[in-house]
Amino acid sequence: MTPAIDQLKKHKVSFTLHEYEHDTHCQNFGEEAASKLNLAPETVFKTLLVTDEKQFFVAIVPVTGQLNLKRAASVFGVKKLRMAEAKEAQRITGYLVGGISPIGQKKALITCVDESAQAYPKMYVSGGQRGLDIGIAPQDLSQLCRQTRFANIAQNT
């Protein structure tokens, strides 16, 4: 099991596990998960790390869109953000890119979930490895992550 699943069990949070065969040639991990698990793409969310060069933050947005860095910077109370590089994200979270879960990271980071997640009884996020997703209620996810808030941080692609 992954640190994410261990944390969910430890806190007795209700969740579902969804496994699929990851295609090593696929780089769009969220869309692959939605397709292979036959889930509505707008309910599948990707976990992104951003930084203002001083600290790192977690932004969770639907795989159908992308993160709006200006809105996210405003939510996190910083002037400007950039996407973390893959090596940085892996070092800080303890997960491989494509399998970064917002739950059970090496260091708990301030988190923002796109407000669209609140429209669904269950959202899907990475379970901590490629080919594994977790179905979880948005409010349960917010309670497991550090200083989580919901805000309009996504934009359509």
Per-residue pLDDT, 147: 87
CA atoms 137, 139, 142, 148: torsion sign: positive
Q: What digits encode the pLDDT tens for the residues 85-124?
A: 999 999 999 999 989 999 999 988 999 999 999 999 999 9
Q: How confident is the model at residue 34 (pLDDT cuts 50, 70, 90)?
A: confident
Q: How much of the chain exceeds pLDDT 70, in percent?
A: 99
- Which pLDDT value is given to residue 157? 67
**Three-state secondary structure of 75-88:** HHCCCCCEECCHHH
The class of domain 3-150 in CATH terms is alpha beta
Task: Please report, for residues 43, 71, 76, 79, the alpha-carbon distance to residue 55 in angstroms, rounded to integers and kept in the order given.
Answer: 28, 17, 10, 12
Kindly report the pTM of this predicted structure.
0.94
Q: What percent of the chain has pLDDT over 90?
A: 83
At residue 15, the pLDDT reads 97
